[in-house]
Amino acid sequence: MDRKLTFKRVTDPYLVPKKYVDRIKARTWTTEKWYKTADQSAHVKTEYGKAANLDTYLLLAVDAEQEVVGFIWMQKDDLNDCLWLNNVSIDSKYWNQGITMSDIIPEIKKIMYKESLEKVIWTTTRPRYGEKYGFKRCAHTLMEYNLMENSHGHDETATDRQHRSAEPHTA
């Protein structure tokens, strides 16, 4: 079996087989929400209907037999002059061979050169894996504020009070 992968850009996220979305680890969303969000990201509304969003890169990973064996979803970020790598999911038969990232990185570089971008930002639960292929931990730290976790035991903010006062009161 030829392990070389090629990538085909698509604008329809429903071409991504569900099993590759389902296998993404540490996700906080449902598969259905992924498809809806990816569809919204892949398109812009125009006066003539939907058109492809040229800042979204949804790439199908295809093997030598032209079978879809995974995908990459990236978005150009003009504000930060970078490419956000949202998701990568490749069939497990390609894991632990180094070939997968060896195929993905040249594809990412093509987009970076095309878009005149110097960096890719990737949020991952496996930073050591990315470090093997030239990714490094950036100076910024990913932070999360969870409204449900922080709504008890902390000082109420002016925004909290304003939101609460706008809610209808029930008996």
| pLDDT at residue 131 in the model | 85
CA distance 109 to 55: 15
- Residue 156 φ/ψ region, left for φ over 0, alpha for ψ in the -120 to 50 degree band, beta for the rest: beta
CATH of 6-140, one of 3.40.50.11740, 3.40.630.30, 3.40.50.300, 3.30.360.10: 3.40.630.30
The verdict on pTM exceeding 0.85 is no
Q: Which residues contact 3 (CB under 8 A, 6 or more apart)?
A: 94, 97, 99
Provide the CA 137 distance to its chain's centre, in angstroms: 18
Contact 90, 69 (CB under 8 A): yes
Label residue 109 by pLDDT band (50, 70, 90): very high
Label residue 143 by pLDDT band (50, 70, 90): confident
Domain ranges for the chain = 6-140
Nearest Cα residue to 22 out of 101, 67, 89 = 89
Label residue 31 by pLDDT band (50, 70, 90): very high
Count the alpha carbons within 13 Å of 154 in the hemisphere toward its beta carbon.
12
**Average model confidence (pLDDT) across the chain:** 86
Summarised one tens digit per residue, pLDDT across range 32-44 is: 999 999 999 999 9
What is the 8-class DSSP label of residue 153?
Answer: S
Summarised one tens digit per residue, pLDDT across range 49-85 is: 999 999 999 999 999 999 999 999 999 999 999 999 9
Q: In this structure, what is the dihedral angle of CA atoms 58, 62, 67, 68, given to the nearest 10 degrees?
A: -30
